[in-house]
Amino acid sequence: MFPRVWPDRTNCKAAKVAYPTTEEELIKAVAYASEHNLKVKTVTRFSGTIPKLACPSGSDAMLISTSKYNSAIEIEPDQLTVTADSGVSLRELIDKVEEAAFSLATSPYWEGVSIRGLVSTGSHGSSWSGRGGSVHDHVVGINLVVPATSSEGYAKVKLSIEKAFKRSITYNFTSDVALEDMFMEHGKKFEFGDITWYPSRKTAVYRYDLRSPDDVSGNGVNDFIEKALETSKSENGKCKTADTTLAYKKLTGNG
């Protein structure tokens, strides 16, 4: 059974669940499903949907989890690329790339996703510059395992990277008047710019977000309060934060 609380509160069953840790094990898992004519659903350690999209049909289906397929992260400095197993988390990838004095050009706000998940679902940041803010726009190569011979490839994703840079961020809490006119200009002016709108408060929060050289002084961390609450599973904390979102973000520098 696949542990997940679905809207209908029923169990999700599969004929087999595989947890490959290497390319060879992944290929064998796909070959097994092909040999036994099983439908395949791929899930990650972060899998979660309200409808039962990740739930297979039952005895004629198999789950392949990438939760343990997350060991390989290879950086090619001369090519400005990084190749990662599909189960590697975004946070793991960012940390590894930053350790090597490089940076990802874009990423979604939530780091609790796998590389496979963020590429396949069109995850994106807020940038309009360069190749754009979608992570898949920075993919330069993908190797896939397909239901064919064992020599047909591996499940890896190769992303372009850049020399390390920092971000300079300023928040402006102001009136939402002319928001519709400011939107395009804001996006063009600030590479990672963002706007959060609070209609009931007639307030817009403009994020002035630009890249800075890596040798600029300062090493501030712009993290989200929701991340800490999610990690600690604090339901009361999340509810209280939701009740006072605007005031709390002002107090903590937008989280």
158 and 77 together in one domain: yes
Evaluate whether residue 77 is within a structural domain. yes
Final residue before a domain boundary, out of 163, 180, 195: 163
Query: By three-state DSSP, how is residue 27 classified?
Result: helix
83 and 157 together in one domain: yes
Final residue before a domain boundary, out of 114, 137, 163: 163
pLDDT for 86: 81
176 and 147 together in one domain: no
What are the structure tokens assigned to 8, written together? 């209908």
Instruction: Yes or no: say if 30 and 64 are a contact pair by the CB < 8 Å rule.
Output: yes
pLDDT for 173: 93
pLDDT for 174: 92
Exposed (0-12), middle (13-18) or buried (19+): which is 166, by Cβ within 10 Å? middle
Compute the distance between CA of residue 52 and CA of residue 1 in angstroms, rounded to an integer.
13
Q: Which domain holds residue 239?
A: 165-251
133 and 200 together in one domain: no
For 65, the enclosing helix (H) or strand (E) is strand 61-65
Evaluate whether residue 9 is within a structural domain. no
Residue 225: CB partners within 8 Å, gap ≥ 6?
A: 241, 248, 252, 255
Final residue before a domain boundary, out of 163, 192, 211: 163
* Unique residue bearing structure tokens 């395009």: 184
pLDDT for 155: 44
39 and 96 together in one domain: no
Evaluate whether residue 11 is within a structural domain. no
Evaluate whether residue 4 is within a structural domain. no
Give bridge partners of residue 172 from the DSSP assignment.
206
Q: Could you tell me where the beta strands, DSSP code E, fall in 107-251?
A: 139-143, 156-160, 162-163, 165-175, 194-198, 203-213
CATH of the domain at 55: 3.30.43.10
Digitized pLDDT (tens) for each residue of the chain, 255 residues in all: 444 456 676 777 788 889 988 888 888 888 888 888 888 888 777 665 666 777 777 678 888 888 888 778 889 999 899 988 888 888 889 899 999 999 888 888 777 788 888 888 878 777 777 777 788 888 888 877 777 544 544 445 566 777 888 888 899 999 999 998 898 899 889 988 899 888 888 899 999 998 888 888 877 665 666 666 666 666 677 667 666 666 756 665 554
Considering only CA atoms, which of 2, 107, 114, 128 is closest in space to residue 67?
114
Question: pTM value?
Answer: 0.57
Evaluate whether residue 141 is within a structural domain. yes
Evaluate whether residue 6 is within a structural domain. no
